[in-house]
Structure 1
């Protein structure tokens, strides 16, 4: 079992460079950070937990800038977005930023993508909430073309550009993982254009995995090519053994968005499970 970590990296949390070094030194294999460009103060959309919005949501660092620092001070650590709100980003500019980070890190970037939950945040980016899945789909497909084709163009409803040159190309095409709850829509998206799934917490996987496999087969894909990485897990040996028994080989664990004295003991505890 391989373990990674995710943290809300903010201007008040442990510096991302220190966190990345500490994770790699302890044998952890990946570091993931989330994204919110801003949080409108109207707060019309409640947090999915039903609780007041945690302060860290207001203070997130830009994930690609933060992860470039994490990659620069490590040698083996995979750096990933967990998750990027891709519907709210320009796909051409984001494709170039991702390709640059992947090239400079030697192929160590992973793109975790989510559809988003904050309607007013999306509205600022001119993204209709009820069409965000369609927007994400087109953005991913357009970016993949820019990463792999010498002259890539795209003609969609939400993204359209004529055949264009765009370098650098990534060192490898970054894997794309979709984050979100189990369900037919999620599994259809994963089967069509993603490399894997980031299920939050990892609960209920035994019941969900058959439906994911069926969606892959309907799309003409080998289910074994779809990686499942439980995300934001609070691990113990029993839970990790259960997940391993389901065929999971990589789990991403949560660490608090706080200073080093709050984070390092948690990293030590995770390292003890390896």
Structure 2
């Protein structure tokens, strides 16, 4: 089983490129960083953590692609992922270019963990029709796939449309798209249509959901996709449980903090699980 790392990278934490280098040196397989473009002060949407107040780090998140580009320069092997990116809030042609460039320059090491978003105020500032955001994400990813793979790419949808166009560079290989979110028929249908895996946040409920995900993939005429539990706080029992389900990669959480707090956790994980 491969083990990756995720940190809520901000301007106050250990820089993500330094974390990537330290993680690679210890034998971790991947580094994932999150995205929030901004956090409106008005708090109509409840925090996803269940707390009364939204943690400060949500408003201080670094740009994921700039962070991962810095990480690519100082590493050679570690996979560089978003966990998670918010495609509904991004212009897909520009985002496709950024992903392809990062994948090309890193030697094919990019993974795109994506989600639908939870913060309605943030989405509104990007013009996202909130109740349709899943449909927006779908079209944005399909449009990016066309730009990544077709020599003359075009797309016509409800939210994205462009005429036959040239767009290089192409990614070094297929960029895996992992969809985060709670299990359900809409999520699994989207994974089966245009995703490469499911990224359950925290990893709860996987065993019960696997039959539905397998069925969605079979209905779409494709093999079962990867399942990558994300943001896990590990124990030997938990990792053994994931392994028994056929999980091949788990992404472990380290604190959103400086080197003095992060590196001891990284060392503990390496000693115990690698």
Q: Deviations over 1:60-107 (max 9, x none)?
A: 000000000011100000000000000000000000000000000000
| Mapped partners of 2:48, 2:12: distance in 1 | 23
Q: Deviations over 1:19-76 (max 9, x none)?
A: 1111001100100000000000001111122211011001000000000001110000
Partner-residue secondary structure (3-state), 1:162: strand
Other-structure match for 1:70: 71
Which is worse superposed, 27-36 or 213-222? 213-222
| Mapped partners of 2:227, 2:164: distance in 1 | 34
Whether 1:265 aligns to 2:264 is: yes
After TM superposition, where is structure 1 displaced by more than 2 Å over at least 4 residues in a row? Answer: none
Task: For structure 1, list consecutive stretches of 5 or more residues without a partner in the other structure.
Answer: none
Other-structure match for 2:28: 28
1:169-248 correspondence to structure 2 within 5 Å: 169-223=170-224, 226-248=225-247
Normalising to structure 1: TM-score of the pair? 0.98
Q: For residue 128 of structure 1, report the CA deviation from its aligned partner.
A: 0.9
Other-structure match for 1:99: 100
Normalising to structure 2: TM-score of the pair? 0.98
Partner-residue secondary structure (3-state), 1:252: strand
Other-structure match for 2:248: 249
| Mapped partners of 1:26, 1:103: distance in 2 | 25
Other-structure match for 2:42: 42
- How many correspondences in the alignment? 272
Q: Deviations over 1:166-206 (max 9, x none)?
A: 00011012100000011111111100100001001112111
Partner-residue secondary structure (3-state), 2:17: helix
| Mapped partners of 1:248, 1:63: distance in 2 | 25
Other-structure match for 2:89: 88
CA RMSD of aligned residues (A): 0.7
Other-structure match for 1:15: 15
